[in-house]
Amino acid sequence: MNEDATLLIWDVDGTLTDSAGLTRVAFEKAFEGIYGISGSTKGIMPFGRTDPQIFREMLRNSDLHGDDFPEQFRKFGIQATHYLEKELQASNKPRLHHGVRELLDLLAVEDDVFMALGTGNIERNARLKLEKHSISHLFPVGGFGSDDEDRTTLIKIAFLRSKDYFSIDFAEINTWVIGDTYFDIKCGNNIGANTIAVATGNASEAELSEHNPTAVFADLRDGDRFINLIGNHGGRR
């Protein structure tokens, strides 16, 4: 085991990026194209949810059954990706959250820090959102909503894939799950990892603190604090 190796598993929406509501637009267009029903995301709170969970709720909202859910979701995912790509290409509103690009630049020169994604997005949708800002290549591996509906399971997938991809037996004590919701904290705890909660999504610092993450950040502009935290906590010195 490389005892100095640190693995960072990143959420996408609300943590790295703000896609300006274009995911909801793409989902509604895809759903209407397949089922002929508009407004299918009304009342749905997507924060911390996986894409399959959101799609299930869209079906329920529209009084439709998921009798062949895997195939229904596969077809929906294809259409949602098609529309999301078009929406992202046409808009200048999506952005990275404050401090993200600068922090990623700092992490890129840390030889013993490795990065992955742990997101409820379908993998191609996650890639599209990051490619919009030319940062997708920094996260070569991950766990996605297209892998599993359960968020803890996809975080575990990200952890195991990272071990294989980087050929490093990462220790849980040197693994960090970074996200903007309670669900990210919970999933990190479930796999025995450290957690960093970032209040750039729908939850405040106080609300995130209630769930006892390892650390809470208002945003990611304090890159030095972030680097010091992952360098001095747990098994890494």
Q: Give pLDDT tens digits along the chain (237 positions).
A: 566 899 999 999 999 999 999 999 999 999 999 999 999 999 999 988 999 999 999 999 999 987 899 999 999 999 999 999 999 999 999 999 999 999 999 999 999 999 999 999 999 999 999 999 999 999 999 999 999 999 999 999 999 999 999 999 999 999 999 999 999 999 999 999 999 999 999 999 999 999 999 999 999 999 999 999 998 764 433
pLDDT of residue 3: 66
Domain 6-19+95-232 class, CATH top level? alpha beta
Q: What pTM did the predictor assign?
A: 0.95
**H or E element at residue 18:** strand 17-18
pLDDT of residue 66: 78
- The backbone torsions φ and ψ at residue 101, rounded to the nearest 5 degrees and listed phi first, read -60, -40
| Measured CA distances, 186 to 15, 39, 155, 219, 237 (Å) | 16, 31, 11, 20, 25
Distance (Å, whole) CA 51 – CA 191: 21
| Measured CA distances, 102 to 32, 89, 97, 108, 214 (Å) | 39, 24, 10, 10, 22
pLDDT of residue 146: 97
Three-state DSSP state, 216: strand
The string of DSSP letters for 153-186 reads HHHHHHHHHHHHHHT----GGGEEEEESSHHHHH
Q: CB burial class (10 A; 0-12, 13-18, 19+) of residue 67?
A: exposed
- Structural tokens at position 46: 């997507």
pLDDT of residue 175: 98
Tell me which amino acid residue 34 is.
Answer: I
pLDDT of residue 236: 39
Three-state DSSP state, 144: coil
- Structural tokens at position 56: 């299930």
Say if domain 22-90 classifies as CATH 1.10.1760.
no
Residue 206: name the closest of 220, 216, 196 by CA.
216
- Structural tokens at position 205: 């610092």
Check: CB of residue 61 under 8 Å from CB of residue 45: no
Distance (Å, whole) CA 187 – CA 193: 9
* Every domain of the chain and the residues it spans: 6-19+95-232, 22-90
Sequence-ordered alpha helix ranges (H) in the chain: 22-35, 51-61, 69-90, 100-108, 123-131, 151-166, 182-190, 205-209, 223-232
